[in-house]
Chain A
Amino acid sequence: MPKFFDKPQSASLAFMVAGAFWFVVGALYGMVSAIHLVSPEFFSNIPWLVFGRERPVHVNTMLYGFAGTMLIGSGLYYIPALLRTKLWSERLAWVSFFLWNITIASGPLCFAFGFTQGREYSEYVWSADIILILSVLLLVYNTAMTIASRTEEQLYVSVWYFMAAFLWTAGNYPLGNVIWHPATGAMPGLIDSLFLWFWGHNLPGLLITPLATGAAYFVIPRAAKMPLNSHTLSLLGFWLLIALYSHIGGHHVLQSPIPNWLKAVSIVDSVAMVVPVSIVVLNLWLTARRQGKAVWGDPAARLVMAGIAWYIVTCIQGPLQSLPYLQRVTHFNNWTIGHAHIAMLGFGGYIALGAMYHVLPLVTGRSLYSQKLVSLQFGLITFGLTGFFIVLTMAGLIQGNAWNNGETVYRVLPELAPYYISRAALGISILTGASVGFYNVVMTVLAGRELSIAELQQGEEAA
């Protein structure tokens, strides 16, 4: 058995397979939540399957379990590859793997029975928090040691993002989760919302975003067979991301009685986020310029490119909805849910999937079981998510405008029914996509055609 845990890139593979698995679990919980908003009497009165408990299982499993896990998996491959060395310790990466997945499994196991800290994105109970932090610290150490043992002089941009994601999370997560208050995981009083949304915003911003950006920086130049467009732009994008993104958590509680100067900071920096986002996006698009056919023709790179497209939409929307005048209508309703889905599934999830399919043959030494299934998954998820974005945005505008004009929440409920029904129907498409993907991953590992040494070398060298 010990041999098994020493096998090069085995931890990377384990993270990716687990990510594909959690995607299915998360989608199942999402499906039931969507059904409950249509028909609350469906599966009624089942304690572990009540909306208030299943929704956090869905959200956390998707964020940490699917997007996070899968992105870490591809990173554990590209970090040593880019540094021309081996991962410093494969066993340590396995320890991270087990710790990380224990925390994620604690979602369905604990929340369903009322064991939760109840703060959005910080629900995991205290012991699971500690386990996750340990896992992150080990990843920091492992990555740092891998960097130290590199044979390639230059640190490529993907390495910065991967390393920094965990450096930030190691400070961010304990702070946002107020881990020095084990019982509640919260500060007393209004200030808790600042701690909460500091992490609530940095989870997408300083964990998922850098991991996904790093993965995109790895896959796009390889798929386009072009060198990165500009080193300077990647530097700018990196430093601006951390300088600005970390300031804007306040826009989640913009209309609450938090101090005004914080609101001002969060609005100004939210709008300024246009700059780093455009830099990253431009840099990647320019890298792929005139290679459209190669990039969009490769099912894995297509997912990454589409993820970048979703990133653009998300980050046009983001600064707009942080403007107080607009947020009066868009806050508190399905508009935000639409934004969150194109951000997490569209940007984070697409790039995670694309990077995984790109890396999987290199890690397993087997070609993908089916390229067609990757394309099918792309189609199913794209159909589902585009639909989600449209119906949730529409529902959100209906709610927001109706409320703003003096209609009560209850009175608007019947107007939402068609949108809730469409969202549940579209959910079937995403759930199917998740299942197809998991099947494809498992079959690749078990039954993919073994690649010859020559093919493998060719694949690895593309960088």
Chain B
Amino acid sequence: MKMSPALLIVGALMVFWASTFIIVGLPAMTMKETPSAIWRPMAEDEREGHRLYVQNGCSYCHSLFIRINDWDIGAERIAESGDYVAQEPAILGSERTGPDLSQEGGEHPDDWHKAHFINPRFTSPISVMPSWEFLGEEKIRKLTAYVQALGWKQADVRVARQQHWKKSAVVAYEAGADANITWLHSQVPAVWRPMPNPYPATQAALLRGKRIYQEFCVNCHGPIGDGKGPAAAWVYPPPLNFTTLRRHLEANRYIGGIFYYQIMNGITGTGMPYFKKHLESEKIWDLANYLAVSFLGYTDANIEPRGIDASYEEDWRNPYHPPAKGGD
């Protein structure tokens, strides 16, 4: 075969347009824009937030669809084509430097997002997300409206839950430090409260706890646990001051189970996120021991009720004494 100009030009165009017909023509003719069960239209603010998402290149670090093998945020629902109706553009994303955001709505209350957008390190100390403070308050509000809508009807349910509990948390906080803690602990299921930390508070465990604290908690609760990290200026109620917990031990002895439950589940409505997707059981218990020893000067690790020691454990006896009745 000899390549003539006509063959080159006509042939190259014909093959190209035939492929184009198959790859974009057929889908354009057959794919239907049918809303999925969770879809809803975007409100004006959300739409403007979406523009900001596109203009600022959030999509280079965040994806907007969940796959069957995902475990992170949103993994409870696999993406469907009807989730994207009328979005223009629906940028699916090709990179997860940060987590998928397709179900981000209601994961956190608005004040968490505000702190996070102003400086992501405030809420997430090792984040590599850029600060967006330069966008200004109004744009950050719209961006927040958009991310709070992600997940559509499912997000609306979560956002309503955040708002519901925010009210109670604010009332409790404004009633004073002790009343607040009493309220917080009253939300922890009764079986968890009198539960000691089953992990020995060895030197190694405390070091592990410290490392996790610095990667996840330090910019809210502060390096000395007084709740005065840089995020405190933005989240309300502010992060808890752990040092006051000394006077709130359950039965004047127990704190491990409360810590475990609060860290695992978070306190919906406040800035306090849940950590059960990030951290497995041992890591949370190590954290609980670290908080207790560093900021309360007491841990309930390994005290009664306890069963047979696990095979790897040393013969560790708890050297800490509970505070005298009433704290200090």
Give me the interface of A with B, judged by CB distance under 8 Å.
36-38, 40-41, 44-47, 50-53, 55-56, 111, 114-120, 144, 147-148, 154-155, 157, 159-160, 163-164, 167-168, 171-172, 175, 181, 184-196, 198, 206, 235, 239, 242-243, 246-247, 249-250, 252-253, 255-259, 262, 265, 328, 331-333, 336-337, 399, 403-404, 406-411, 413-414, 420
Contact = CB atoms under 8 A, between A and B. Distances in A.
Nearest to A36: B130
Interface stretch (B6-14, B171-179, B247-255): B6-14
Given A56-B60, A175-B20, A409 B5 contact: no
B98 interface: yes
A194 B27 contact: yes
Contacts of A172: 16, 20
A148 B5 contact: yes
> Which 9 A-B pairs give the minimum distances between C-beta atoms?
A52-B57, A186-B89, A246-B19, A118-B54, A114-B55, A332-B96, A257-B81, A188-B88, A406-B71
B78 to A, nearest CB: 8
Contact of A413 (B80, B85, B127): B127
Given A163-B8, A332-B95, A45 B55 contact: no
Given A40-B121, A190-B31, A337-B95, 12 more contacts: A37-B128, A40-B128, A50-B130, A155-B8, A160-B3, A160-B12, A163-B12, A196-B89, A198-B23, A333-B95, A411-B278, A414-B215
B103 to A, nearest CB: 14
Contacts of A189: 31, 33, 81, 84-88, 90
Contacts of B60: 51-52, 55-56, 120
Contacts of B324: none
Residue among B31, B68, B80, B121 with max Cβ neighbours from chain A (10 Å)? B31
Nearest to B280: A406
Given A37-B128, A56-B57, A118 B98 contact: no
A259 B28 CA distance: 11
B71 A51 contact: no
B134 A46 contact: yes
A144 B9 contact: yes
Contacts of B127: 40, 410, 413
A50 B99 contact: no
B277 A188 contact: no
Contacts of B98: 409
Contacts of A184: 88-89
Contact of B23 (A51, A250, A408): A250
Interface string B28-39: 101101000000
25 contacts: A37-B128, A40-B120, A40-B129, A41-B121, A51-B60, A52-B61, A117-B54, A118-B54, A118-B91, A147-B5, A155-B8, A157-B3, A160-B8, A163-B9, A167-B12, A168-B12, A262-B27, A332-B95, A403-B70, A408-B99, A409-B72, A410-B127, A414-B126, A414-B215, A420-B128
Contacts of A38: 128
A406 B60 CA distance: 22
B16 A410 contact: no
Given A45-B134, A243-B15, A53 B56 contact: yes
A156 to B, nearest CB: 9
Contacts of B8: 155, 159-160, 163-164
B118 to A, nearest CB: 10
B58 interface: yes
A30 to B, nearest CB: 13
A55 B130 CA distance: 12
Residue among A50, A116, A189, A242 with max Cβ neighbours from chain B (10 Å)? A189
A47 B134 contact: yes
A247 B90 contact: no
A409 B33 CA distance: 31
A148 B9 CA distance: 12
Interface string B62-80: 0101011111110000011
B310 interface: no
A413 B33 contact: no
B81 A195 contact: no
Contacts of A159: 8
Contacts of B61: 51-52
B318 interface: no
A144 B13 CA distance: 14
A119 B91 contact: yes
Contacts of A44: 130-131
B191 interface: no
Contacts of B80: 257
B316 interface: no
A333 B67 CA distance: 14
A186 B81 contact: no
Nearest to A266: B23
Nearest to B13: A167
B25 to A, nearest CB: 10
Given A155-B5, A181-B88, A252 B94 contact: yes
A121 B54 CA distance: 13
Given A36-B128, A414-B126, A257 B65 contact: yes
B117 to A, nearest CB: 12
A220 to B, nearest CB: 19
B277 to A, nearest CB: 5
Nearest to B79: A257
Contact of A118 (B89, B121, B130): B89
Given A189-B84, A192-B89, A198-B20, A255 B57 contact: no
B92 interface: yes
A328 B5 contact: no
Contact of A256 (B72, B79, B97): B79
B204 interface: no
Contacts of A45: 131, 133-134
Contact of A198 (B11, B24, B124, B131): B24
B19 A242 contact: yes
A116 B27 contact: no
A47 B8 CA distance: 48
Given A114-B55, A167-B13, A198-B24, A188 B85 contact: yes
Contact of B12 (A164, A185, A403): A164
A346 B202 CA distance: 52
Contact of A119 (B30, B71, B89, B126): B89
A194 B19 contact: no
